[in-house]
Amino acid sequence: MSSPERIVALSDAVVSGIAAGEVVERPASVVKELVENALDAGASTVTVEYDERPRSRLVVSDDGCGIPADQLALAVARHATSKIRSLEDLTGVRTFGFRGEALASIAAVSDFEIVSRTADAQVGTALRVRHGETIGRSTASARRGTRVTVADLFANVPARRKFLKSPAAEYSLAADTLRRIALAEPAVGFRLLRNGKTVLDAPPVSDTQVRIAQVYGRDVAAAMIPVDGRHAGMRLHGAISLAGTSYGSARRMSMFVNGRWVHDRLLFRAVMEAYRTYLMRGRYPAAVVFLEVDPKILDVNVHPTKREVRFSDGAAVERFVIEAIREALRRRSSPLGRWGLQEHELRAAGRRRSRPGVVGAPAPSWSPAEAPAERWSVRPAAGGDRRAGNLASEDEIRGGTRERTVAEPPAELPLGCEAIPRVVGQVFSGYIVCEDGDDLLLVDQHALHERVLFERLMADLEAGAVSSQRLLAPVAVPVGAEGVEAVERLAADLERAGWEIDVFGEEEALVRAVPSIVSGADPKAVAERVVADMVAGADGGRFGERVMATVACHAAVRVGQRLDAAAATALLEQAREVAFSACCPHGRPVARRLPRARIERLFGR
């Protein structure tokens, strides 16, 4: 048996190298730490120079308060900071930095130089550090503020350098980091230079929306709406993309907690959940949201990079974020995405903002509270049979008659159109073929009808007006022990959604009444799916959305069911009356567009 190794205290160099690996992961980490230090110093302008020629070099300069000459050496020492004094200060941190690790960690793995001058100093002071060892100190000509130069990052840690991405990818991550910080500080000017060329020039502004346009572009900013919600001492404000506007990646999603950009799973999950019935699968919204909470309920000391945070009541924070965003989306429904609008059409849509009936036009001057309270009912097919090949009637698609008690506000028209697309026919007994200007439009009849029914059901649920139909005989449904527990726990929510379900034994439930809209469907199949949604853990508003999505799916016209021109037209007309119809509640697209030019190219014209 081999003898145990002796326990020894690590040298300062090794300790610094380990600490540097936690704080400095890549060039983007350097940008984050140095720019946040500049902001803590009260800078009004921050410039980042990213140079890849001939060796990696980063320069971050600011016009902040500077560091006194007699404290410069201490600034690059480990665990030296001006931000906190005691352990109690950690419960109310309001600065970006506080651990006293950033400069020391960066200096430990690079060729590092810091030049700083305070307002009352005649000259600046320069300190040079290489791989954690101070190699020079001198006076220097400098303006008020601080300039930090970092060269040959990870030259003494080849294992870390080996795992860096390509130079272009590392630059992209660093640029994204600066852009996110810039979003949170509109009153500060930011410049980014790559190899001497300016790629971002964002002068100070007074409005977050203008800063979003500076960072993400005017087209993205034009398709965003404000969000501002408050609850129990929390506030969520910022801007989010309209329902139906989506992107192929999450790069346009930036979340901040008390002014600090965070990469937090809880907040990301909350934003995506808020958009769950408004986005196609695999798509992401644009969101620049700021969560403000009492620092005492927040732990920012979870990770050395401070990218992760922990809330004392994460569930409450998550629910608040979801509801705040959902409320903003409900107040400002969007035509984006309707009739197959794609992301690349945003630019053209933004240029037509001043024209009536198109993307970007001002919202009607009525609010949801002023909308007419109308009841609607569904008249199922005779006998409730919806076998493939059956011809659906116009009345069935319309879902019965409506009794209007007051005049409706003007219905939102399709993008730039005076009327709905002209129905040409139906293919594969599931897709409506339409002619819309110079485009061919294919509409998934099930997905569109499902969305229309879902929007109506949610409106009735919020109004407490979901109609119910009692079954002639109760139906026993096997739901398992978890299902029985869910039925008991959410009995009141089920009743509001039009269901009457009782516990029947240890693993079965007895269905006595269902929402009228699915009275013609198989109650056992629908109930099994609804209880499965309940077991999935949804409650409150999320429960209602999941249940109504399931109900709408079972009540909607099916693929395989033929529609005549009148029924198809009636379905398209109904889509104009709901707030959103770009995708079904489960995220599938409703329509796809095929331009005439593309069709003509297929035939060599």
Rounded CA gap, 350 and 358, in Å? 9
- 456 and 312 inside one domain: no
Write the pLDDT tens digit of every residue in 411-425. 233 433 447 899 999
- 217 and 179 inside one domain: no
- 434 and 583 inside one domain: yes
On whether residue 219 sits in a domain, the answer given is: yes
Q: Which of 337, 260, 335, 324 lies closest to 33 in space, CA to CA?
A: 260
Rounded CA gap, 549 and 457, in Å? 9
Q: How confident is the model at residue 23 (pLDDT cuts 50, 70, 90)?
A: low
Q: Which of 200, 232, 247 is the last residue of a domain?
A: 200
Residue 308: per-residue pLDDT? 72
Angle at 38 between CA 45 and CA 31, to 5 degrees: 100
Contacts with 287 (C-beta within 8 Å, 6 or more apart), sequence order: 238, 239, 240, 241, 252, 253, 254, 255, 271, 325
The CATH number linked to 491 is 3.30.1370.100
Given a cut of 80, whether residue 94 has pLDDT beyond it is no
Q: What are phi and psi of 301, to 5 degrees?
A: -100, 35
On whether residue 527 sits in a domain, the answer given is: yes
Write the pLDDT tens digit of every residue in 436-480. 889 999 999 999 999 999 999 999 998 999 999 999 999 999 999
Rounded CA gap, 291 and 299, in Å? 14
| Other residues' Cβ atoms within 10 Å of the Cβ of residue 597 | 10
Dihedral, CA atoms, 163, 165, 170, 172, nearest 10 degrees? -150
Residue 396: per-residue pLDDT? 53
- 67 and 214 inside one domain: no
- 253 and 393 inside one domain: no
| Other residues' Cβ atoms within 10 Å of the Cβ of residue 463 | 11
Rounded CA gap, 72 and 596, in Å? 67
The answer to whether 274 touches 325, Cβ cutoff 8 Å, is yes
On whether residue 360 sits in a domain, the answer given is: no
Given a cut of 90, whether residue 189 has pLDDT beyond it is yes
Q: How confident is the model at residue 404 (pLDDT cuts 50, 70, 90)?
A: very low
- 299 and 397 inside one domain: no
Given a cut of 60, whether residue 383 has pLDDT beyond it is no
DSSP 380: P
Residue 341: per-residue pLDDT? 40
Name the burial class of residue 124, with classes exposed (0-12), middle (13-18) and buried (19+) by CB atoms within 10 angstroms of its CB. buried
Rounded CA gap, 262 and 301, in Å? 12
Residue 402: per-residue pLDDT? 36
Write the pLDDT tens digit of every residue in 472-508. 999 999 999 999 999 999 999 999 999 999 999 889 9
Domain count, the chain: 3
DSSP 413: P
What tokens appear for 35 in the block? Answer: 């720019």
Q: Which of 583, 465, 491, 595 lies closest to 543 in space, CA to CA?
A: 491
The answer to whether 344 touches 219, Cβ cutoff 8 Å, is no
Q: Which of 200, 233, 267 is the last residue of a domain?
A: 200
Cα 487 from chain centre:
32
On whether residue 352 sits in a domain, the answer given is: no
- 458 and 554 inside one domain: yes
On whether residue 359 sits in a domain, the answer given is: no
The CATH number linked to 118 is 3.30.565.10
Q: Which of 82-96, 461-475, 515-529, 553-567 has the lowest mean pLDDT?
A: 82-96
On whether residue 371 sits in a domain, the answer given is: no
Given a cut of 80, whether residue 300 has pLDDT beyond it is no
Residue 544: per-residue pLDDT? 84
Given a cut of 60, whether residue 368 has pLDDT beyond it is no
Q: Which of 450, 448, 452, 417 lies closest to 435 in space, CA to CA?
A: 417
The answer to whether 94 touches 85, Cβ cutoff 8 Å, is no
C-alpha radius of gyration, the chain, whole number: 30
- 442 and 486 inside one domain: yes
Q: Which of 580, 175, 195 lies closest to 412 in space, CA to CA?
A: 580
Please report the DSSP string for 244-277 in residue order: T--BSSSTTEEEEETTEEE--HHHHHHHHHHTTT
Rounded CA gap, 539 and 526, in Å? 18
Cis previous bond, 54, omega within 30 = yes
- 465 and 536 inside one domain: yes
| Other residues' Cβ atoms within 10 Å of the Cβ of residue 576 | 18
| Burial 166-194, CB ≥16 within 10 A → b, else e | eeeebbebbbebbbbbbbbbbebbbbbbb
Q: How confident is the model at residue 13 (pLDDT cuts 50, 70, 90)?
A: low
- 94 and 216 inside one domain: no
Please report the DSSP string for 157-207 in residue order: -HHHHHT---HHHHHHHHHHHHHHHHHH-TTSEEEEEETTEEEEEE---S-
On whether residue 372 sits in a domain, the answer given is: no
Write the pLDDT tens digit of every residue in 208-217. 999 999 999 9
Residue 7: per-residue pLDDT? 59
Residue 304: per-residue pLDDT? 53
Share of the chain above pLDDT 70, in %: 76
- 160 and 255 inside one domain: no
Q: Which of 165, 180, 179 lies closest to 26 in space, CA to CA?
A: 165
On whether residue 25 sits in a domain, the answer given is: yes
The CATH number linked to 212 is 3.30.230.10
More confident position, 19 or 543: 543
Residues in the chain: 605
Residue 362: per-residue pLDDT? 31
Amino acid present at 38: A
Rounded CA gap, 467 and 499, in Å? 9
Q: Which of 158, 173, 200 is the last residue of a domain?
A: 200
Rounded CA gap, 100 and 566, in Å? 71
Residue 425: per-residue pLDDT? 94
The answer to whether 206 touches 261, Cβ cutoff 8 Å, is no
More confident position, 39 or 55: 39
- 534 and 427 inside one domain: yes
Contacts with 164 (C-beta within 8 Å, 6 or more apart), sequence order: 26, 27, 154, 170
**The domain containing residue 143 runs over which residues?**
13-200
Amino acid present at 128: R
The tally of CA atoms less than 13 A away on the side-chain side of residue 241 is: 27
The answer to whether 243 touches 582, Cβ cutoff 8 Å, is yes
Dihedral, CA atoms, 571, 574, 578, 580, nearest 10 degrees? 30
Q: Which of 100, 264, 110 lies closest to 180 in space, CA to CA?
A: 264
> Tokens 């269901």 — which residue?
499
Residue 580: per-residue pLDDT? 78
| Other residues' Cβ atoms within 10 Å of the Cβ of residue 451 | 27
Rounded CA gap, 330 and 243, in Å? 9
Mean pLDDT of 301-310: 64
Residue 153: per-residue pLDDT? 92
Q: Which of 232-241, 295-304, 471-480, 508-517 has the lowest mean pLDDT?
A: 295-304
Highest mean pLDDT among 68-82, 237-251, 410-424: 237-251
Mean pLDDT of 212-238: 93
| Other residues' Cβ atoms within 10 Å of the Cβ of residue 44 | 15
Rounded CA gap, 284 and 276, in Å? 10
The answer to whether 557 touches 449, Cβ cutoff 8 Å, is yes
